[in-house]
Structure 1
Amino acid sequence: LNRAAAGTIALVDVNGPKLDGEVKDLCQGSAFHPRVRVVGSTDYAITGGSRLVVVTAGAARKPTETRLDLVKKNCGILKAIIPKVLEHSPDAAICIVSNPCDVMTAVANKVAGPTVPPGRIFGSGTNLDSSRLRSLIAASLDIDTKSVHGYIVGEHGESCVPVWSSVRIGGVPLLPYGEEPGTPHMEMHAEVVKTSTDVIRLKGYTNWAVGLSVTHIATCVLDDTRSILPVSTCVRGYGGVKEDVYLSLPCVVGASGVVQMVEMHLTDHERKLFHKSADKVWDVQKHIWDQV
């Protein structure tokens, strides 16, 4: 809304009264943001002709649940949403934010079927996890987060993999060549993994950081920036992965969604962790695959 990346923002929700309240609240602030039309309905027809659809619908995650615990709850929700989205916006890029993000992205792609080009439906993935890691590194060095470059790949969740070998500070590697990450790095990774659970425990939900992350992704799609972001896509064939599993890797993101995947160099240890992440997500995905 504040970036004016879209001329119209259409909100859809099953809760009509709450939806009306959100639309009114946003519209009443129109004097303080660029001119953007905000509309809402329980009918997906209002989204017709969209260039980008962001799917956030899903059951709320409890503090004791992992993202993977949500899979059966949210699978049915995605199966109902995707056909309606494609009916009214067949050419839209679709970004899945619903958790567990990677499995839900796989579900959305299977529901959509082979008529939707690869990469058109992708997940927000580890874009936020990577931001969290960069911010922790920046804080430890007392520098601007924008000066830290690096990625977390794999699952958006507990088995995510920080690619320490690729982290750069102003172009300089964080770790000397061949050096393995130490205790401080492991502690940062642990903080990235648990921070969303901490926020949910403290305030009941997460919204600001993930909202900013998805806004960044949306801007890249709507402006066709072809920026490289760690988002969730099918990684079959990458590094020997044999299943149609969806995980995050750096990808070129533009108007059509994921334009291409970037071949990222991983150390042997990082590659092993990536495969473990793939195995973990696939273990869940395969159990619901026949139900999609």
Structure 2
Amino acid sequence: MKVSIIGGGGVVGSTAAFAIQCGGGVSEICLIDANKDLALGQAEDLLHGSSLVADQRIYAGDLGEIRDSHMVIITAGLRRKPDESRLDLIHRNVDLFLGILKEAKQIGWRESTTLLVVSNPVDILTYLAVRYSGLPASRVIGLGTLLDTARFRSYIAAKLKVPATQVNGWILGEHGDSMVPVWSSVRISGWPVQQWPGYSSQFEREVEDLTRKAGAEMIRLKGASAFAVGLSIREVVHAVLLDQRRLLPVSTWQQGKYSLRDVCLSVPTVVGCGGVRDQLEIPLSPREHVALQHSAKVLAETIRQVEDRLSHTAAPSDAEKVSAAPASPATTSSTNSHIARAPDSTTTKQATNTGDAQRVIPRSAWQLAR
């Protein structure tokens, strides 16, 4: 099984490659980056340790490597400029992302490829990947709140002094300010957290605050978040390539769960061979349900702003238009979604030729910008 990482020279891409290497679940890892020397250096560094881990082929390549990749991971993104608004940064990252998708589509995806979106804003870019990549919606997954969920569980464990692997619970919705901690789902070795010694409403508030600020705190302390996001990426890769059919909080195209439609955000999703196998509704409290609806509205408004701008930038060609609705999960028959209103050539050229476009940032850095 081959995994290609676009943005593999950066902190998140290279850390993900290391996590995947240590997991031993794939036979081939290709790092792709605008900074070719950086990608080559990261690949060589990983290769030097291969005799201590697993028999894997690890190398740097170009975007043409996606043709025979079983899974493609996009971690590339742009840094925020001084005095730049959040929305302007979103637009620049959208332009870069659509440029990557346009070139990838021209090269051609492997028929069974699953695309994992890690770049931020992850829910918006996952939505655009469903629309523009040419892949069925079931084969497009955003990392979503998987990292937030891992942080959430770890903070609960640390504060209650229990093993982290014994904590279960979810964060759903947007990977961002409107994320929804689902306290009604939290269990410690099967026990509701509300019955555990040390639980209180103050405990809830403290854990939520730590979780929301975790990305910015990592930047303050060490410049970037890396290890936890790399491990989160590996969870999705193994679930897909090993057909583990794991239930994960990842960002996917919504078609009715929790009454959500036409948006990508995180709900409990069965991930296995073929990508999205199913989506489930875990019980939510009334407050949590309202918060999830609000999260969807926040994302829908941002999507509206992005699409309004794209509609004034460039219209899709006839060859790029597809009238079918986005594909349903892999358990049902599917067709491709609306394809591509890609940025015009001037925008794409500017996005790919500037110095900024060669810089790859960890997804947690987005949280500081927010």
Tell me the TM-score normalised to structure 2 length.
0.72
Match for residue 362 of structure 2? none
Asked whether the equivalents of residues 174 and 266 of structure 2 are also in contact (C-alpha less than 8 Å), the reply is yes
Q: Quick one: which of 100, 110, 116 aligns to 1:95?
A: 116
Equivalent position of 1:288 in the other structure: 306
Amino acid at match of 1:173: P
What is aligned with 1:261? 279
C-alpha distance 156-101 of structure 1, shift in aligned 2 (>3 A) = same
- Please tell me the root mean square deviation across aligned C-alpha atoms, in Å: 2.2
Match of 1:40 among 60, 66, 70: 60
CA offsets per residue over residues 111-145 of structure 1, 9 Å max, x none?
124xx322210101111111111111111221111
Structure 2 residue matching 1:48: 3-state secondary structure:
helix
* Matching residue of 2:368: none
- Would you say 1:191 and 2:204 are equivalent positions? no
Q: Which residue of 2 aligns with 1:244?
A: 262
Per-residue deviation, 1:154: 0.3
Q: Deviation per CA, 1:11-38: give whole Å up to 9, x if none.
A: 1111111111112111122222111101
Which ranges of structure 2 fall in alignment gaps of 5 or more residues? Answer: 1-20, 311-340, 342-370
Deviation of the 1:222 alpha carbon = 1.0
Q: Secondary structure at the match of 1:159?
A: coil
Cα distance change, pair 165–69 in 1 and its aligned pair in 2 (3 A): farther
Please name the residue that 1:17 is paired with: 37
**1:78 counterpart (97, 115, 121):** 97
Corresponding residue of 2:168: 149
**How many Å apart are 1:45 and its aligned residue?**
1.6
Between 197-206 and 256-265, report the one with greater CA deviation.
Answer: 197-206
**Mapped contact 1:63–1:197 kept (Cα < 8 A):** no
Instruction: Indicate the SS of the match to 1:94.
Output: strand
**Alpha-carbon spacing, 1:260–1:231, altered in 2? closer, same or farther (3 Å):** same
Q: Residues of 2 paired with 1:184 and 1:247: CA distance? A: 27
Counterparts of 1:264 and 1:36, CA distance in 2: 38
Matched, 1:54 2:73: yes
Pairs within 5 Å for 1:99-178: 99-113=120-134, 116-175=135-194
Identity rate, percent: 37
Q: Which residue of structure 1 aligns with residue 47 of structure 2?
A: 27
SS class of match (2:295)? helix
Question: Do the aligned partners of 2:27 and 2:55 also contact (CA within 8 Å) in 1?
Answer: yes
Cα pair 1:7 1:35 within 8 Å, conserved? yes
Look up the SS of the partner of 2:194 in the other structure. Answer: coil
Q: 1:284 to 1:17 in 2, by over 3 A?
A: same
Q: Deviations over 1:173-205 (max 9, x none)?
A: 1126xxx97121022111101110111122222
Asked if 2 retains the 8 angstrom alpha-carbon contact of 1:125 and 1:232, the reply is: yes
Q: Match of 1:35, SS?
A: coil
Report whether the alignment pairs 1:208 with 2:227.
yes
Distance 1:253 1:88 in 2: 20
SS state of the match for residue 150, structure 1? strand
Instruction: Quote the Cα distance in structure 1 between the aligned partners of 2:271 and 2:85.
Output: 28
Mapped contact 2:130–2:136 kept (Cα < 8 A): no
Q: CA–CA distance in 2 between the matches of 1:227 and 1:127?
A: 12
Tell me which amino acid in the other structure corresponds to 1:49: D
For the residue of structure 2 that corresponds to 1:210, the secondary structure is helix
Q: In structure 2, what is the Cα distance between the partners aligned to 1:108 and 1:259?
A: 18
TM-score, reference length from structure 1: 0.91
What is the CA distance between 1:85 and its match in structure 2?
3.5
Q: Deviations over 1:134-171 (max 9, x none)?
A: 11111122111111111000001111001111111111
C-alpha separation between the residues in 2 aligned to 1:217 and 1:156? 16
